[in-house]
């Protein structure tokens, strides 16, 4: 039962991704338009990020500000080094959908949903992960569209300014408002008492836009005479896992070199490597990003990266927690 409570989101992803694509493949365009077609990813993303920010406990952020080195390093790994690692790998794919989708997955900010959860599960300092999350979400408003312009300008002539304005309204503003709402009397008390329920609601909304993306991808597949080879899908899965693991190792090794405390390094491992799903799906739906051409497989790398990081981090967090308990018993 405990495993189900911890893994329900991953289980839902595993069911909804292929299920949504299959359903979209077997249904008509009219049916998709009157059901999931009515879901607008932009206001849904705003609601998700507001709820996630509202549920983040920011009371320990002052302590993290006193030692900014871990936060700065985690931010650099997440929003600078990981995109640099993904760039040559993305160019390897012959399918533009996979190249663009993998870069989108790499350049979005740290997830507001699971970085702190994974950090706490492993026994790390969740104040560091909170601050890295907030900082990357703020910086990404400007840096994410610039990353995409620099790396995929051959495939799509991206004007970064509309994207910056869009991300400011859909990412930065709800994140700031969510944290401000926590400071307001009864709302702050509600956020503390109902943190679990608020988090569940936000994750359910994430699953809603995941299902919409899967159903629409399935619908577009009806008009695709050629699908990617199974080997290319396998390479994509391996690439997502390798990028995530590489970012975790870089965060850990750099943290040791900077003499960061163990609890803070645990936070760096997760906050430096995890990426948010809603913002990635939002970017993949923007015509200014996709070049206004049909890219039915562009959401695959984004969805796969999120599923892979959830699967890997659940096991890694449990292993770190067990190692910490063993060290305590020996000492």
Plot region of 292 (φ>0 → left; ψ -120 to 50 → alpha; else → beta): left
Q: Which pLDDT belongs to residue 330?
A: 44
Give start and end residues of each alpha helix (H) in the chain: 2-26, 29-34, 41-54, 61-66, 69-76, 82-92, 96-107, 115-122, 126-152, 160-167, 173-182, 185-193, 195-221, 230-257, 262-271, 277-284, 287-290, 299-330
The whole-number mean pLDDT for each consecutive block of 10 residues of the chain, a chain of 331 residues, reads 72 83 84 80 83 75 76 95 95 87 93 77 84 86 86 60 77 84 84 82 83 80 70 90 96 95 93 90 79 75 87 85 63 45
Say how far apart CA 267 and CA 269 lie, in whole Å. Answer: 5
Tokens matching residue 322: 């067990």
What lies within 8 Å, CB to CB, of 137 at 6+ separation is 49, 109, 110, 112, 171, 172, 175, 276
What lies within 8 Å, CB to CB, of 313 at 6+ separation is 114, 118, 270, 274
**Kindly report the CA angle at 258 between 254 and 263, in degrees rounded to 5?**
80
Q: Assign domain 12-324 one CATH number from 1.10.3720.10, 3.30.2090.10, 1.10.150.120, 1.20.1530.20.
A: 1.20.1530.20
Q: Which pLDDT belongs to residue 240?
A: 95
How many other CB atoms are there within 10 angstroms of residue 327's CB atom?
10
Domain boundaries, the chain: 12-324
Q: Could you tell me how many residues make up the chain?
A: 331
At residue 172, the 3 state secondary structure works out as: helix
Q: What is the pLDDT of residues 2-28, one digit of tens each?
A: 777 667 877 887 888 888 888 888 888
Q: What is the pLDDT of residues 198-224, one digit of tens each?
A: 878 888 888 888 888 788 777 877 766
What distances in angstroms separate CA 248 from CA 86, 136, 176, 213, 292, one per listed residue? 14, 16, 27, 28, 34
What distances in angstroms separate CA 95 from CA 77, 131, 197, 266, 323, one per listed residue? 27, 36, 40, 36, 42
pTM comes to 0.79
Q: Which pLDDT belongs to residue 71?
A: 92
End-to-end CA distance of the chain: 32
């Amino acid at each position: 039962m405990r495993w189900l409570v911890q893994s329900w989101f991953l289980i839902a992803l595993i069911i909804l991704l292929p299920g949504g694509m299959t359903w979209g493949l077997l249904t008509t365009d009219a049916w998709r338009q009157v059901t999931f077609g009515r879901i607008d990813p932009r206001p849904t993303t705003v609601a998700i990020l507001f709820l996630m920010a509202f549920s983040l406990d920011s009371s320990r952020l002052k302590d993290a500000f006193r030692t900014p080195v871990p936060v700065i390093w985690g931010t650099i790994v997440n929003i600078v080094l990981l995109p640099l690692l993904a760039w040559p790998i993305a160019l390897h794919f012959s399918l533009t959908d996979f190249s663009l989708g993998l870069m989108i997955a790499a350049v979005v900010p740290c997830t507001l949903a699971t970085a702190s959860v994974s950090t706490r599960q492993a026994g790390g300092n969740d104040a560091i992960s909170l601050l890295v999350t907030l900082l990357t979400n703020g910086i990404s408003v400007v840096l994410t569209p610039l990353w995409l312009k620099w790396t995929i300008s051959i495939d799509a002539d991206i004007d970064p300014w509309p994207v910056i304005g869009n991300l400011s309204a859909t990412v930065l503003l709800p994140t700031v408002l969510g944290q401000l709402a926590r400071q307001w009397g009864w709302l702050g008390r509600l956020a503390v008492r109902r943190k679990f329920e608020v988090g569940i609601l936000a994750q359910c909304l994430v699953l809603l836009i995941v299902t919409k993306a899967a159903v629409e991808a399935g619908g577009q597949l009806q008009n695709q005479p050629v699908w990617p080879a199974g080997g290319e899908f396998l390479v994509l899965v391996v690439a997502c896992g390798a990028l995530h693991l590489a970012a975790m190792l870089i965060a850990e090794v750099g943290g040791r070199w900077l003499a960061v405390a163990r609890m803070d390094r645990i936070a760096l491992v997760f906050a430096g490597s995890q990426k948010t799903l809603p913002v990635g799906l939002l970017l993949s739906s923007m015509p200014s990003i996709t070049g206004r051409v049909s890219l039915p497989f562009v959401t695959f790398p984004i969805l796969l990266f999120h599923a892979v990081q959830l699967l890997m981090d659940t096991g890694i967090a449990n292993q770190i927690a067990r190692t910490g308990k063993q060290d305590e018993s020996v000492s």
